Amino acid sequence: MNKYPLAKIMLANPIRRNILGNNSNGETLMQYAKAVKDVANNLGVNCIDLYNESGLNPQIPINKNTYFATNDNTHPNDKGQLKMYPCFKEWLLKS
């Protein structure tokens, strides 16, 4: 931030995944998504809340079948990328 003071900086938290439960640190993906938002807030930068606002959730069968790669149900396919686009577009237009 000091090196490029005119740069527009944002963070984005992760989308929902097909993995439930805790990671090796005992934290959930929801906690991680909130932590990214907290870091952005502490740094005074915007955070794109993909976890809550992208509309991507592989736990919903129709959503999983439409927007996620069939081999892992974690990574968005082309349609999933397009579904996330409005979240980034909104940030780009207001920056």
- Say how far apart CA 28 and CA 30 lie, in whole Å: 5
Express each pLDDT in 32-44 by its tens digit: 999 999 999 999 9
The reported pLDDT for the residue numbered 25 is: 86
Q: What is the pTM of this model?
A: 0.86
For 61-93, what is each residue's pLDDT tens digit?
999 999 998 878 889 999 999 999 999 998 888
Q: Give 62's Cβ-side CA count (13 Å radius).
A: 1
The per-residue pLDDT for range 7-33, each reduced to its tens digit, is 888 999 999 988 778 888 889 999 999
